Amino acid sequence: MTDLKKGTIAMTAAYLWWGIMPIYWHVLGDASSFEIIAYRVTFSFISLLIFIALTKRPGIFKIMKNRKKMFLIIVGAFLLAINWTIYIYAISIGDYTQASMGYYINPIVSIFLGMVFLKEKLTKWQIIALTLVSIGVIYYVFSQGQVPILALTLAVTFGLYGLYKKTIGVESIQAMTIETGVLFPISLIVLWVVHNNSGILFTNGTVLSDIFIILAGIVTMGPLLLFAEGAKRIPLTRVGFLQYIAPSLMLVSGLILGSKFTIHQVICFIFIWAGLAVYTFSNIRKGRLAYDGKDNT
């Protein structure tokens, strides 16, 4: 199996996973967005340390001595923290529309970053597909009658995080461990503040919520590791198109949890899926879905 196929499978799995995660976080609805982020960081860091200890993976201290890589990892960690916080906040207030919209805009950001910073090029069919997708997203943004701050923040932070993962040149597990390690002290402070003010959910909620909190690390790291592995193997332009899996499933998750589906979302969907259909058809027409070295998808 080629690297491109492995990367495509890993990236697709990551977005399928992310797409159904709103249902998971809905169970922890009694906790604030900051508290949930603190749990995600804390248990992710612990899970990664255990994994590294069991697999005896060296190299973390060597990476930490590289100032350039450490700077990028720290920036990546805070981009991820901002993205997580905004996403959980949107879910906690029931705004699945902005959460999903952010990840609809994100692919456009990723494709743009790939073209500008990595010199990736689009084929004629990809330009048509991207145009259709962009029309749908732009229409939806304007239909809301206001600037979607949460959605734009989600899109830009995760787009930049994807660019960082594409260029960092560090093994995914090691990078994730350092990222969560950077955020770990902050997460402990957040939990301490929440505990002293309103009380934390962990051990004070239901048995189910305690189990979900403990598993937050694995649930968080799983798709991120798949994303990191995929980002190293496929162009950001392809990442951009695959990203539409997650927000589509997020909207479905929102419907399951009681969110309403508007006519504006229907119109947006029509353009987005028309674009994805063009993108898929162009690859099938060439008799392949794999990179052949002649273009960037």
pLDDT of amino acid 294: 46
Global pTM reads 0.76
Q: Of 227, 292, 293, 290, whose CA–CA distance to 1 is shortest?
A: 290
Residue 2 three-state SS: coil
CB 85 within 8 A of CB 16: no
CA distance 274 to 280: 10
244 exposed, middle or buried (CB, 10 Å; 0-12, 13-18, 19+)?
buried
Angle at 195 between CA 190 and CA 198, to 5 degrees: 110
pLDDT of amino acid 293: 47
Q: What is the DSSP string of 4-25?
A: HHHHHHHHHHHHHHHHHHHHHH
pLDDT of amino acid 39: 92
CB 114 within 8 A of CB 164: no
pLDDT tens per residue across all 297 residues of the chain: 777 788 888 888 988 888 888 778 777 777 887 888 899 899 999 988 888 888 776 678 888 889 999 999 999 999 989 998 888 888 777 776 777 778 777 777 888 888 888 887 878 888 898 899 889 878 877 887 777 788 889 989 989 998 988 888 888 788 889 999 999 999 999 999 988 888 888 888 788 888 989 998 888 888 888 888 888 888 776 776 777 787 777 777 667 766 666 788 788 878 877 887 887 777 666 555 444 444 444
CA distance 242 to 246: 8
Structure token pair of residue 103:
């990840």
Neighbours of 46 (CB within 10 A): 14
CB 227 within 8 A of CB 14: yes
Backbone angles phi, psi at 101, to 5 degrees: -65, -40
CA distance 166 to 284: 26
Task: Output the CA torsion sign for 282, 286, 289, 294.
Answer: negative
Q: Of 104, 120, 136, whose CA–CA distance to 275 is shortest?
A: 136
